[in-house]
Structure 1
Amino acid sequence: MKIIATNIGERREVHWKKKKVTTGIYKFPVDEPIFLDREEVKGDEISDRKYHGGINQAVYGYSLKHYEYFKNLHPNLEWSYGMFGENLTIDNIEETKIYVGDTFKVGETILEATLQRDPCFKLGIRFNDMKIVKQLWSTTKCGVYFKVLQTGFVKVGDKFEQIKSSPENATIAELLIQRKKEKAI
């Protein structure tokens, strides 16, 4: 596996349901390496720290393979890496095969898989179509949050190499399925 894109977002205010909403979901590829710190990606906007950032959600990774599925559902969008709000677009990660606690070496960093991404209305704002939220909930293509065990820089082309597997734990997909049951979506 390897890094296809490193993505950073700036603070953006948008109008949704007659309210002003601040978001960092508008992430776009950058050419320079990005620094993965303990609680965030340096230079990346985190507008809602209740649900994003922090030790267990410092970095968000999403699979390039999932893009094709959603491109078929949203063919008229102007697509770019970072569309799902991910910091790392990885060529092929599969939530059904990544366990909580799995550890990866990428660039100068070591990352540990921690949580699933629960899609929210801000993803709908980014897509200009709220249907994407339910579409994502109906799959296991949620992406993976990572804890940063070793900080450092990551760049496009870096290998995303698994160095530890934790099959005794739930997969990221199983966490999402459990979350759906809790929310009764």
Structure 2
Amino acid sequence: MLPTLPLSGLFIGQLAHLPGDGTPTGMYKQPVDEAWATVDGLRGDVQADRRFHGGPDKAIHHYPAEHYARLAAHAPQAAAALRAGVLGENLSTTGWDETCVCLGDCYQVGEALLQVTQPRKPCWKINARLEVERLSMFIAEHSLTGWYCAVRQPGRLWPGAPVTLVSRPADTLSLAQFNALQAEHRPDPARLRAVAAIDGLAADVAQRLRERAAWLDGLRAG
């Protein structure tokens, strides 16, 4: 089981505009002293493109603060900006990462109960905000993604609140293992179906895994 951690950072944000073409984004978060977690995310937090961000399966983004040192080493030109909150996360902690957090994990943060639904899929907006080419690719390739959570029990959060794992599915895998599986050229279709059945996995991710398994089955049959 994972050790209990303190919530070291809590962030919400309004719409802002990226450098360059001015694309609207909700990545620009500010620290707050408390927030209320609902099934749609933290009250007062905004996402610009609801096709890819937000919603019940991506209600809250949790990112390990220790990753920033590695990102700064990779992109020293942006080191001053690479600090907790800059990648658009809502929650920041030190001590849990993708190697030990698993799909379907349920954990208590203050008064709220959260469930891990999927890793974050980093996109070009990270590159644009920090003005570092291919930074999102580096994050993906090294499984420095953080993760999204659904809110299973709404409640109040605050910096310093205990973050405690309360349950984990019996047959699951870590986020790092899941990222590696998704990167495989031709993974075992049976394994994809098994992962798709993990309790708590985001429904659209599970559907894509089943579709990929069916496509691979077709290749083998052909």
Q: TM-score, normalised by structure 2?
A: 0.75
Q: Which moved more, 1:119-128 or 1:161-170?
A: 161-170
2:39 aligns to what?
Answer: 38
CA distance in 2, matches of 1:127, 1:27: 14
Q: What is the Cα deviation at residue 130 of structure 1?
A: 2.4
The list of structure 1 runs, each at least 4 consecutive aligned residues, that deviate by more than 4 angstroms after superposition, is none
Q: 1:111/1:11 Cα in 2 relative to 1: closer, same or farther (>3 Å)?
A: same
- The equivalent residue for 1:126 is 129
Q: Secondary structure at the match of 1:95?
A: coil
Deviation track 1:160-184 (CA, whole Å, cap 9, x = no partner) reads 10011224123222332234447xx
Larger radius of gyration: 2
Query: Matched residue pairs, number?
Result: 179
Aligned to 1:72: 73
- Alignment-mate amino acid for residue 139 of structure 1: H
Q: Which runs of 5+ in 2 are unaligned?
A: 186-222
Distance change >3 Å, CA 29–CA 50, structure 1 → 2: same
Residue 168 in 1 paired to residue 182 in 2? Answer: no
Distance in 2 (CA, whole Å) between partners of 1:102 and 1:22 is: 32
Deviations 1:106-128 (A, max 9, x none): 10100111100010011112211
Give the whole-Å Cα distance in 2 for the aligned partners of 1:131 and 1:28. 25
CA distance in 2, matches of 1:47, 1:178: 29
Q: Which residue in the other structure is 1:91 paired with?
A: 94
Instruction: Please say if residues 137 and 180 of structure 1, whose CA atoms lie closer than 8 Å, have aligned partners that are also in contact.
Output: no
**Counterpart Cα distance in 2 of 1:167 and 1:52:** 28
User: Is the CA contact (8 Å cut-off) linking 1:103 and 1:112 kept in structure 2?
Assistant: yes
Structure-2 residue corresponding to 1:158: 161
State the percentage of identical aligned residues: 26
Distance in 2 (CA, whole Å) between partners of 1:152 and 1:130 is: 38
> Match for 1:66: what amino acid?
H
Query: In 1, are the aligned partners of 2:19 and 2:128 still within 8 Å (CA)?
Result: no
Structure 1 gaps, min length 5: none
1:29 is aligned to 2:17: no
Change (3 A) 1:120 1:98: same
For 1:70 and 1:5, the matched residues in 2 are separated by: 18
Q: 1:8 aligns with which of 3, 9, 12?
A: 12
Deviation, structure 1 residue 155: 0.8
Q: Which residue of 2 aligns with 1:55?
A: 56
Q: Comparing both structures, which one devotes a greater share of its residues to helix?
A: 2
Q: What CA distance in whole angstroms lies between the structure 2 residues aligned with 1:114 and 1:2?
A: 21
CA-CA distance at 1:15 after TM superposition = 4.9
Residues 62 and 93 in structure 1, CA contact (< 8 A), matched pair in contact too: no
1:137 matched to which residue of 2?
140
TM-score normalised by structure 1 residue count: 0.89
- State the shift of 1:51 in Å: 1.1
